[in-house]
Structure 1
Amino acid sequence: MTMVEPTQGSISDEVLISLRRLIRAIDLHSRYLSKHFGLTGPQLIILRELTRAGEMSPGEVAASVSLSQATVTGITDRLEKRQLITRTKNEIDRRRVVIQPTEACRKLLAQAPPPIQESFLNQFDTLKDWEQSMILSSLQRLVQMIDAKDIKASPVLTVGPIEITPENTQ
């Protein structure tokens, strides 16, 4: 494929097209997860983390996957209704609740694709430090340009309605 020297107008078009492709890729992955596995990206990440750890408290899950505890509670409510997790009181400290994956969860995860950010992170980690810094700097500048610097976000790539919680409002 031959690279054509872009003009100034087409550079901004290419940036916007690239941003749209990123958004679209996240959307397509989310739709695929939902259609084929009945999961959202954050649900998949939580289930994978629980399976890795064996059992965790809701607070530990929230900290581990960089989501608010309120968000994790809502997600785990839905996962429990689907019988993908169980919540039980800790036998030693009855005030502490632990979440565990079920066998149905393990079977579902054996078939599900990895979260979209896992592929990104695997490739990003192979880049040289200067390349990583360059990407970060460019993205931070884009965030500033669209006046989105005050929007709270976690490193979970997903689409759909934004859940309003005290943690993501100013």
Structure 2
Amino acid sequence: MTDRPDALELAQRVRPAMTSLYVAYFRNTERSDLTGPQLSILRRLEVEGPSRISHIATSEGVRMPTASNTINQLEKRGLVHRTRSAEDRRGVLVDLTEQGKHELIRVGKERTQYLANMLDTLDDASLQQLDAATDAIVRLAEVYANPET
């Protein structure tokens, strides 16, 4: 029999820290003029390619008007553009522009550096523990961060 940690006890210990880190991370990365939902849509377009607004809304777990408003904001900034679907001329696809791709890279680097600065304050043992937990954290994100799953 293994000594499997109790998920509820672990959650009670980890949740307050995750909440605090989430708030600190986004408070300090707010200097970017892109919101979390805007970045999420840009990232989704980077990964999935051109998509209909209805697909984006479903994938992001938001209603169509919310997705449409966010895409309008991104389009005004030149980060996405709309094109007619080759398969269905009535359909409109949203895709990243070159400027959108560059902005996504820039903001990603900025946020990665901020997180690296946070991690750099840990001692060696704590960094090693976090490194060992990375696969589990990534797996949780893969399973629970996408509303479609």
User: What's the TM-score, normalizing by structure 1?
Assistant: 0.52
**1:75-154 to 2 correspondence within 5 Å?**
75-113=70-108, 123=137, 125=139
Structure 1 residue 58, shift from structure 2 partner: 0.5
Instruction: State the alpha-carbon separation in 2 of the partners of residues 121 and 87 from structure 1.
Output: 36
Partner of 2:68: 73
Q: Can you list the C-alpha shifts for 1:119-156, whole angstroms capped at 9, x where unaligned?
A: x8851637xxxxxxxxxxxxxxxxxxxxxxxxxxx958
Higher share of residues assigned helix:
2
Q: Indicate the percent of aligned positions where both proteins have the same amino acid.
A: 27
Structure 2: how far apart are the matches of 1:91 and 1:125?
36
The one-letter code matched in structure 2 to 1:47 is: L
Which TM-score applies when normalising by structure 2?
A: 0.59
Residue segments in structure 1 that go unaligned for 5+ positions in a row:
1-14, 127-153, 157-170
Q: Size of the alignment, in residue pairs?
A: 112
Where does the alignment leave 5 or more consecutive residues of structure 2 unmatched?
A: 1-11, 116-133
- Structural RMSD (CA): 3.4
